[in-house]
Chain A
Amino acid sequence: MPPALCQGANRLETASGHVAAHLAYSLSSLGDLGNPAPGVMAAKPKLWYFPGRGRMESIRWLLAAAGVEFEEEFLETREQYEKLQKDGRLLFGQVPLVEIDGMMLTQTRAILSYLAAKYNLYGKDLKETVRINMYADGTQDLMAMIMMAAFKPPKEKEENIALIVTKAKTRYFPVFEKILKDHGEDFLVGNKFSWADVQLLEAILMVEELNASVLSDFPLLKAFKARISNIPTIKKFLQPGSQRKPPADSRYVDVVRRVLQF
């Protein structure tokens, strides 16, 4: 069995020796989140990534929204990265890496889909799931633009920001405003909190960091933002001291360039 897939491996120790309990069920505003197998105590998921948002941030958001505690190991040196590769834990030699339920999962979307399904944030049937996927994929495209902008030459910064804000206001936000308007419900899909709502809030906040008034023409998105931000698990994640990461700065860019050598 390749080490990267380690399905039967016993990896229940965590840095602090603490083993996480079941999902907190006091998340009444989330409705039915479903149960992990009764009596099964699971270790906390463990995340390996650079000390910043990048491709891991959406995963942190989703875990946090689901009320799942997680641990993080930050890659800051080339040596750490090469060790991970040599240990065979990175199927394609890349991070994000999430150790969860005895699996070493890489590929951001694979991880997000697993978490969404596991924590019942993926719709009640195939038609709801495909809508969640469409909305999540759209917001991911927008957030990828923001992520990559940090690595472009500084002189292109203004232009990139303008382009992102324009795309947000003309291609992405109108779509979600219309979805909310058409069904008049609190959540994007199936009148129930899902992964799509978490991604959209994440995207809104990221674009607002670039341009604070970006929601000025989108009243339903403004209300959506307030509503989702008030969900207890999300509210907690939005507070200082949580595992949410700040926007990329030059120090973060330097770390990534150093570790990945580009």
Chain B
Amino acid sequence: MAGKPKLHYFNARGRMESIRWLLAAAGVEFEEQFLTSPEDLEKLRNDGSLMFQQVPMVEIDGMKLAQTRAILNYIAAKYNLYGKDIKERALIDMYSEGMADLNEMILHLPLCPPDQKDAKMTQIRERTTNRYLPAFEKVLKSHGQHYLVGNRLSRADIHLVELIYYIEEIDPSLMANFPLLKALKTRISNLPPVKKFLQPGSQRKPPIDAKALEEARKIFKF
């Protein structure tokens, strides 16, 4: 009998948020154990629970999984969100990796020294509107289907909608020239498990604030 997956991370989006989104979209209930101090991280390390001494770590199906991508790949495959064959999977991976690159830039923005923040924000805006969103709009336009790959919901759609929410938090006007992506966002947001996750009181995390950032600095010593 498998218990619910258990997520180990600090109480913020960080690298765990895309895992939360994917589990939620798959309709999988999960538990969370939050690291709140350096001692919490040390304990996990000393227990031998963290393969490379890092979080995210997800306990699932009797395993303690590390490495965000390995975890996402496992969840996607287990819950049939990974395409029907290796060619569809290759497209899903290609799209997801591009999204992860942009997400990484957004993720690191709060950690940017103040004198570099403006330049970084400009780069994020530029990449969003010139590199990433056009690529995905073009994919949807090319086949005219409701999902990015194989005419079926996959992890790529979930990751993209998550990313669109972050883009809109930065500046909603960045989405202006991407009608198909906006329609995808609406469509995916209306799927019952996603709709539920988008509601207040769910396990979705807010943007990191100064207090959470300070906590992260203490726990991870950076």
Contact = CB atoms under 8 A, between A and B. Distances in A.
Interface of A: 1-2, 5, 7, 91-93, 101, 103, 105-111, 113-114, 117-118, 126-127, 129-130, 133-134, 137-138, 141, 171-172, 175
A113 B90 contact: yes
A92 B94 CA distance: 9
Nearest to B66: A134
A184 to B, nearest CB: 19
A51 B174 CA distance: 37
Contacts of B86: 114, 117-118
A126 B78 contact: yes
Given A114-B90, A129-B77, A133-B70, A109 B97 contact: yes
B52 A110 contact: no
Contacts of A93: 131
Interface of A (DSSP majority class): helix
Given A103-B90, A105-B90, A118-B86, A133 B73 contact: yes
Contact of A138 (B67, B89, B93): B67
B77 A171 contact: no
Given A2-B139, A107-B93, A110-B94, A134 B78 contact: no
A173 to B, nearest CB: 11
Given A92-B131, A114-B93, A175-B51, A126 B142 contact: no
B138 to A, nearest CB: 5
B73 A130 contact: yes
Nearest to B85: A117
Contacts of B214: none
B16 interface: no
B52 A175 contact: yes
Given A92-B98, A172-B52, A109 B69 contact: yes
The residue among B52, B53, B77, B98 with the most chain A CB atoms within 10 A of its own CB is B52
Contacts of B70: 130, 133-134, 137
18 contacts: A1-B143, A2-B139, A5-B91, A91-B95, A103-B87, A103-B90, A109-B93, A109-B97, A114-B87, A114-B90, A129-B77, A133-B73, A134-B51, A134-B65, A138-B66, A171-B52, A172-B52, A175-B52
B42 to A, nearest CB: 15
Contacts of A141: 52
B52 A107 contact: no
Contacts of B135: 91-92
Nearest to B97: A107
A97 to B, nearest CB: 11
Contact of A91 (B63, B77, B98): B98
Interface string B177-193: 00000000000000000
Interface in B52-73: 52-53, 61, 63, 65-67, 69-71, 73
Nearest to B101: A92
Nearest to B142: A2
Given A137-B70, A175-B51, A175-B52, 6 more contacts: A5-B142, A93-B131, A101-B87, A103-B87, A106-B94, A130-B71
A105 B94 contact: yes
A127 B69 CA distance: 14
A130 B59 CA distance: 13
A114 B86 CA distance: 6
Given A126-B78, A134-B65, A134-B66, A110 B97 contact: yes
B74 interface: yes
A190 B135 CA distance: 38
Contact of A127 (B61, B71, B94, B143): B61
B30 interface: no
B132 interface: yes
B166 to A, nearest CB: 17
A163 to B, nearest CB: 15
A87 to B, nearest CB: 14
A130 B63 contact: yes
Given A127-B63, A130-B70, A133-B70, A2 B93 contact: no
Interface string B87-116: 101110111111001000000000000000
A126 B65 CA distance: 13
Contacts of B74: 126, 129-130, 133
